[in-house]
Amino acid sequence: MSDLHTREGEGVTCTHGMPTPASCIDCMDDDGLGAPTTAPERLEGPSVASKYDTECRKCDGSIRVGERVYLTDAGRWVCERCAGEIQGGL
């Protein structure tokens, strides 16, 4: 029993050669923390009246001329209902 000084309890060593698991993509990937966090979509600005008959980029619902449409920070136009969902964080 000469192995009392193992640091198993700390469990913070990277097995891939990086100094710390936090700097290792593989470790973060193993923990599921490395996945790119997709920031929740947000509304980019005030609504505008659609100039065209088009479709909501989120729900594919039809948008008629004159309906309120909202631009999101993902660069897509969404209908009023979807804008409400985005604002409500759903």
Task: For residue 61, state whether it binds Zn ion (rule: CB under 5 A).
Answer: yes
Residues 6+ positions from 35 with CB-CB distance below 8 Å: 29
9-17, 31-39, 42-50, 66-74 -> range binding Zn ion (CB under 5 A): 9-17
Question: How crowded is the C-beta side of 1, counted as CA atoms within 13 Å?
Answer: 1
Which residues make Cβ contacts (< 8 Å) with residue 4, sequence separation at least 6? none
Indicate whether 24 belongs to the interface with Zn ion (CB under 5 A). yes
Provide, rounded to whole angstroms, the least separation between the CB of residue 58 and Zn ion.
5
User: Of 22, 33, 59, 65, which lies in the binding site for Zn ion, with binding defined by CB under 5 A?
Assistant: 59
